[in-house]
């Protein structure tokens, strides 16, 4: 019997061979490393029989599929350990997720994070036992008998069709309902770490039982696990919710869940971001507009948002007319466009809006500034002729890369997302739009991944994912090509032929959500924002009360240069003030005492350094002003 390998070559194996046998024929080293296999596009256990002509790939731990198999298997081992240590525990579900896995339990007694070391000890005992994962297919009736004592499994089984073939896996004494695949045995899992405990409603429904969810992760080696845990600890220390509170940037309150409250220092950072954003957009030829927060329901129906997005929108009535609070800026922007007649000579029109939008998010997914119910979208809409689309998309790509370099985001991963299942517009529109974006990416010489089915409901898009210092990626900027909304909202221009035509519309952002981008920056820099962004750029530290008047003069000179300055007049020692300045991440501290007054100078200390330098006041102001300027970068996109 012959099977086909990923390189296109054929391999002869015995009749009845399994995927594991294929790995062994290829070589003993591969067989030892293998954790699963792919037959066609389906990831399967190594015990799965192969057929004549099957396309086979061996899955190893260094692949995304391999890690998922390891982590899913680790979730089963966690469930085995939990049911052994806590008799009477009912098990729910335990999938692999990004960076790890979780399992949901109904424990007979409270289980918290203090119990994780005990669970870890049992997990490692089970790993050491190298228990085989054994797959078996059963009927629905058999499955109901096997899991008669597990109410959550029974509920899942009852939801399946009557003629469903159901797979179960056993390792040792533990049996689970699962599609698989799994590693050959528990000894192949590698290194496991349990991370946290949380509550989770069964099936995400608040009317159901609150279960205990245990999160964990697994890696092929302890070294990889330790590196991941180190990154996790760094992320914990840099948590923007913690730093935002400590630095006095923003807060959240029970009276407005999911709605951030920005404090004076937070607004200083936001305004610095917006000043930079506006400078870049003016230079790139954008005009700025502002549109209303609420608009009539009929507009949202015409735009397609009502049918495709209403579950995420807020509504109200004014004079018995239904209004929607905008979740996006584009329909309002189109009304600005329609308020005047346009000619082909007007294009391209680049119209930007820093619009505050509201989206209804479930309370369980709210996460600091990363997931909120109100945020500022740094939107822009480009209206252009079909032949201008590629140039405009390339211009967006260059703007995105230039702005990201300013923040030190040099590694940007790009995806092209195509038509989703729920969408508007014709097949021809979508095909043309997808080709235009792909052509622009190729012209910009950008490598990209295809992300099928993840486009916006009105058009395909290019998404930009930035990588922070902890190796995490964040999707922020996007560029969406839209032939459908101009049609639905009747946008027109007069062409060179003196006839009316539809413009092409590009939707794009750079930050995405200003609030989320701020959260990313706080964690990326660990709260020590670059000097040009810092809420307090300079702290003036008088040695004693008699030096306060001169400290005020220093502040006035710095503020005259456009710097954000505070004077620390507390009755604390100079060393305590300096320590506090370091804790609050102030880029520059200027100490003033008798000597500085006499010499009309200051003593400069930079953040993170113990070195100090005496400078004349004018010299210090000029130097600090230069250091606090926005860095100039060039795009190589």
Dist CA 221 CA 228 (whole Å): 11
Task: Reply yes or no on whether 461 is catalytic.
Answer: yes
Point out the catalytic residue in the list 381, 508, 585, 605: 381
* Planar angle of CA 287, 516, 251, nearest 5 degrees: 115
Point out the catalytic residue in the list 461, 516, 555, 564: 461
| Closest-CA residue to 202 (of 156, 161, 159) | 156
Structure tokens given for 73:
């298997």
Point out the catalytic residue in the list 71, 153, 330, 524: 330
- How many angstroms separate the most distant Cα atoms in the chain? 95
- In the 8-state DSSP scheme, what is residue 459? B
Dist CA 60 CA 188 (whole Å): 11
* Helix axes 389-406 and 264-283, enclosed angle (nearest 10): 140
Task: Reply yes or no on whether 330 is catalytic.
Answer: yes
Region of 285 please: left (phi>0), alpha (psi -120 to 50) or beta. left
The helix/strand/coil state of 346 is helix
DSSP result, 591-630: EE-HHHHHHTEEEEEETT---EEEEEHHHHHHHHHHHTSP
Region of 190 please: left (phi>0), alpha (psi -120 to 50) or beta. left
Is residue 186 within 8 A of residue 130, CB to CB? The reply is: yes
Task: Reply yes or no on whether 384 is catalytic.
Answer: no
Task: Reply yes or no on whether 359 is catalytic.
Answer: yes
Is residue 482 within 8 A of residue 433, CB to CB? The reply is: yes
Point out the catalytic residue in the list 238, 373, 507, 524: 507
| Closest-CA residue to 353 (of 384, 330, 335, 380) | 380
Region of 39 please: left (phi>0), alpha (psi -120 to 50) or beta. beta
CA dihedral 57, 63, 69, 74 (to 10 degrees): 150
Point out the catalytic residue in the list 153, 359, 371, 419: 359
Task: Reply yes or no on whether 559 is catalytic.
Answer: no
Point out the catalytic residue in the list 72, 240, 377, 401: 377
Residue 456 Cα distances to 81, 358, 507, 616, angstroms: 43, 18, 10, 57
Q: CB count, 10 Å around CB of 49?
A: 13
- CA 357 vs. chain centroid, Å, equals 19
The string over 544-554, giving b where at least 16 C-beta atoms fall within 10 Å of a residue's C-beta and e elsewhere, is: eeebeebbeeb
Dist CA 73 CA 59 (whole Å): 14
Task: Reply yes or no on whether 524 is catalytic.
Answer: no
CA dihedral 418, 420, 424, 427 (to 10 degrees): 50
The helix/strand/coil state of 543 is coil
Point out the catalytic residue in the list 45, 378, 379, 463: 379
Dist CA 517 CA 530 (whole Å): 15
Task: Reply yes or no on whether 145 is catalytic.
Answer: no
- In the 8-state DSSP scheme, what is residue 573? -
Q: Which residues are catalytic?
A: 330, 359, 377, 379, 381, 461, 507
């Amino acid at each position: 019997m012959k099977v086909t390998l990923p390189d296109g070559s054929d391999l002869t194996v015995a009749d009845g061979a399994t995927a594991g046998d294929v790995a062994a024929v290829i070589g003993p080293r591969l067989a030892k490393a293998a954790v699963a296999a792919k037959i066609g596009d389906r990831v399967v256990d190594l015990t799965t029989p192969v057929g004549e002509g099957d396309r086979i790939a061996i899955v190893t731990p260094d692949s995304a599929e391999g890690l998922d198999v390891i982590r899913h298997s680790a979730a089963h081992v966690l469930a085995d350990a939990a049911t052994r240590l806590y008799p009477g525990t009912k098990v729910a579900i335990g999938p692999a997720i990004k960076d790890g896995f979780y399992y949901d339990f109904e424990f007979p007694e409270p289980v918290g994070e203090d119990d994780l070391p005990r669970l870890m000890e049992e997990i490692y005992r089970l790993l050491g036992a190298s228990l085989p994962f054994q797959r078996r297919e059963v009927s629905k009736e058999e499955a109901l008998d096997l899991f008669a004592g597990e109410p959550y499994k029974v509920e899942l089984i009852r939801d399946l069709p009557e003629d469903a073939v159901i797979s179960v896996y056993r390792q040792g004494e533990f049996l689970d309902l699962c599609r698989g695949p799994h590693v050959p045995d528990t000894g192949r899992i590698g290194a496991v770490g349990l991370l946290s405990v949380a509550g989770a409603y069964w099936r995400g429904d608040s009317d159901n039982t609150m279960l205990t969810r245990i999160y964990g992760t697994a890696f092929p080696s302890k070294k990889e696990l330790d590196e991941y845990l180190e990154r996790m600890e760094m992320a914990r220390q840099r948590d923007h919710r913690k730093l935002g509170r400590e630095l006095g940037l923003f807060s959240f309150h029970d009276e407005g869940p999911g709605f951030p409250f920005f404090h004076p220092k937070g607004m200083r950072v936001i305004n610095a971001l917006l000043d930079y954003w506006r400078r870049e957009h003016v230079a790139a030829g954008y005009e700025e507009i502002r549109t209303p927060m609420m608009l009539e329901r009929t507009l949202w129906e015409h735009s397609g948002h009502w049918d495709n997005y209403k579950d995420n929108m807020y509504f109200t009535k004014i004079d018995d007319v239904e209004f929607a609070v905008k979740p996006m800026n584009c329909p309002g922007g189109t009304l600005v466009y329609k308020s005047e007649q346009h000619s082909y000579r007007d294009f391209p029109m680049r119209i930007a809006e820093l619009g505050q939008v509201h989206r209804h998010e479930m309370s369980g997914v709210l996460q600091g500034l990363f997931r909120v119910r109100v945020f500022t979208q740094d939107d822009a809409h480009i209206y252009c002729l079909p032949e201008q689309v590629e140039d405009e998309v390339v211009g967006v790509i260059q703007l995105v890369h230039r702005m990201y370099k300013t923040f030190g985001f040099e590694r940007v991963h790009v995806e092209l997302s195509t038509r989703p299942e729920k969408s508007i517009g014709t097949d021809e529109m979508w095909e043309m739009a997808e080709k235009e974006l792909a052509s622009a990416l190729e012209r910009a010489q950008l490598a990209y991944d295809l992300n099928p089915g993840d486009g916006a409901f009105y058009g395909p898009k290019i998404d930009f994912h930035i990588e922070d210092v902890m190796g995490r990626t964040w999707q922020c900027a996007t560029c969406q090509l839209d032939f459908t909304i101009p049609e639905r909202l009747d946008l027109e221009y007069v062409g060179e032929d003196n006839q009316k035509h539809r413009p092409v519309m590009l939707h794009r952002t750079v930050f995405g959500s200003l609030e989320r981008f701020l959260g990313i920056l706080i964690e990326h820099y660990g709260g020590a924002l670059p000097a040009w962004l810092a809420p307090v750029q300079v702290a003036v530290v008088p040695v004693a009360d008699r030096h306060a008047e001169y400290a005020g003069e220093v502040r006035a000179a710095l503020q005259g240069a456009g710097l954000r300055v505070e004077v620390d007049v507390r009755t604390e020692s100079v060393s305590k003030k300096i320590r506090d300045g370091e804790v609050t991440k102030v880029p520059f501290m200027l100490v003033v005492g008798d000597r500085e007054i006499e010499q009309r100078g200051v003593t400069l200390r930079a953040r993170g350094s113990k070195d100090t330098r005496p400078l004349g006041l004018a010299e210090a102001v000029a130097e600090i002003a230069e250091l606090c300027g926005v860095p100039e970068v060039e795009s190589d996109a």
